[in-house]
Structure formats: C-alpha cells, structure tokens
Amino acid sequence: MTQPTIAFIGAGNMAGSLINGLISDGYDPACIVASDASPAALDAMARRTGVRTTGDNAEATAGADVVVLAVKPQMLQGVAREIAPVVQQRRPLVISIAAGIREDALEVWLGRGVALVRTMPNTPAMIGAGATVLHAGAGVTDGQRDSAESILRSVGLTRWVEDEALLDAVTAVSGSGPAYFFLVMEAMEAAAIDLGIPNETARLLTLQTALGAARMAIESDEEPAALRRRVTSPGGTTERAVAVLEEGGLRELFGRALAAARDRSIELSRLLGGG
C-alpha cells in the first residue's frame, strides 16, 4: 500500500525527531520531504535520514498529503501565508507543532476549510520518549486523526483532548515539565555534593534515581502516592525528608508554577496569533 507523502516545513530538532521516529517505524524515506531556509540544516537532514529536501516551502507542500508545520512560532505566520495557496488547492492534513498558535489563527493564515490538528510535543520526543497531546479541528476526519496520531506516536505517548483550550494546561504540565524535573535533579545533585558526596557520584546517583523512580511509576499499577508511601517507613529517613518538603509547601509551589506556565501560554497565544 502506498504511504501518504508527508512534508515537514522546518528541518530542526523536532522535525528530525519525528522523521527519525517514522523511519524507525518503517516509513519509507522517499515518502517524506523536508523544507527549510537553511541549506546546512537540509544537508544534515538528507545525510542523516535519506529524505528528500528542498528550500522551497510551497514546493514541499505541493506534493504532500500531510503537512507538518515545524517552524518556530514567531515564523509561522509568514510560512503559513506562503504555503496557503498550495494548501487551499491540495487540501492536505495540516499538523502544527508550534507552541502557542491557536487553530483560529492558523485558519486565518492558511485559509478556511483546512483540516487542522494542533499538537503539543515535548523535548523528550528527541529521544523517542515524548509525551504529545493533540487536538483535532472540526474538519478533520477519523482517518486524518489516525494519520496525525501515528506520526506523533512514533516519538512517544500520545493523547487527544476535545477542548483546544486545554493545550495551555498541557503546555504547563508536559511541555514545560521536563524543566521542572531537571531543576529537581539539579537541586538534589547540589545538595548531595554539599553533604560530601563526590561530584560525579552525586550526579550519577541523582540521575539513576530519577530514572528508576520514573520507570517504577510507569510500570506499576499503583499511583505515585502509593509508591511514595511504600518507600516511606514510619520514623525513617525518607519520612523525615518528605516532611521537610511538605512543610516547605512543595505541593502549593507546584500548583502555582503550573498555573503560571498555563497563564503565560495563554498570553503568548494572544501575542503570537495576532495579525
């Protein structure tokens, strides 16, 4: 069966991750084309993946059944308006991975009646461990939903939401979330060094502990709260440490942090979606 042609507008890290994921899943590189303003980026993409490349966004779009908008949010309006005539003529599925750009803005730039899927992948997609949430516009068919999900699923977990506004909360949780965990690792490593543990050992212990805890949470049927209780012996060291974190207002702090990230996502959507 002939595979749909997928055009990636933008040949940066996230596009490269999705292309690598698709090829690893058995997608034919001949059915993928990438465009970018940077000849160096296109050359690197072609050498690494074997896909077709072009410096012309409209040319890439002209032969595509699916178009993935993988440029920076600040560049998206110009790119969308550039390819709009071809999109209106060919009517491909358009998938946007640009943070903060709402579907109504994309419809203004691309023209009405386009099948749009907006997604929010996160940076672990670059190692095949991403978490992506998708929202389908009104004109998206079941088959197009399946196509969008298969593309994003090539780099990790996928989930759909029916309300586009929830993508602002998703941005706060999974989009920005890796930074929260990196900050916790950074703090734990520094505290371990302050306790006298050698730097390299402190780093390795912190990272392996984070990896082990994440794997346990993923592979267990129990909720994180239950797993925490299992390793928190009454009167023990863990109980003492957790008490300090709770007394410091850790839960409330995370609540405020995620709300702030969500609110900033809403603000950026208004700024970036103008015009």
Q: Residue type at 8?
A: F
Query: pLDDT, tens digit, for every residue of 150-204?
Result: 999 999 999 999 999 999 999 999 999 999 999 999 999 999 999 999 999 999 9
Kindly write down the DSSP assignment for every residue of 79-143, as one continuous string: HHHHHHHHHHHH--EEEE--TT--HHHHHHHH-TT-EEEEEE--GGGGGT-EEEEEEE-TT--HH
Distance CA 33, CA 51 (A): 6
Q: What is the pLDDT of residue 273?
A: 80
* Fold adopted by 177-269: ProC C-terminal domain-like fold (1.10.3730)
Alpha-carbon span 224 to 27, nearest angstrom? 36
pLDDT at 236: 96
SS3 of residue 211 by DSSP:
helix
Q: Which positions of the chain have pLDDT values less than 70?
A: 1, 274-275
Listed in sequence order, the residues at least 6 apart from 31 whose beta carbon sits closer than 8 Å to its beta carbon are 3, 4, 5, 6
Residue 217 tokens read as 């949470």
Beta-carbon contacts of residue 51 (< 8 Å; ≥ 6 apart): 19, 29, 30, 32, 33, 34, 45
Q: Tell me what pLDDT residue 2 has.
A: 79
What percentage of residues in the chain have a pLDDT greater than 70? 99
C-alpha to C-alpha distance for 273 and 249, rounded to whole angstroms: 36
Could you tell me where in the chain the CATH 1.10.3730.10 domains are found? 177-269
Contact 91, 64 (CB under 8 A): no
What local confidence, expressed as pLDDT, does residue 116 receive?
A: 97
Give the 3-state secondary structure of residue 53.
strand
- Return the closest-CA partner of residue 10 out of 40, 32, 42: 42
What is the model's pTM? 0.91
Choose among 49, 58, 57, 62: nearest CA to 18: 49
**pLDDT for residue 172:** 95
Q: From residue 192, give the alpha-carbon distance in Å to each of 64, 204, 229, 243.
A: 52, 11, 23, 18
pLDDT for the residue numbered 200: 98
Please give the CATH superfamily to which domain 6-168 belongs: NAD(P)-binding Rossmann-like Domain (3.40.50.720)
210 φ, ψ (degrees, to nearest 5): -65, -45
Residues 70, 35: Cα–Cα separation, whole Å: 10
Q: Which two tokens stand for residue 55?
A: 């410096």
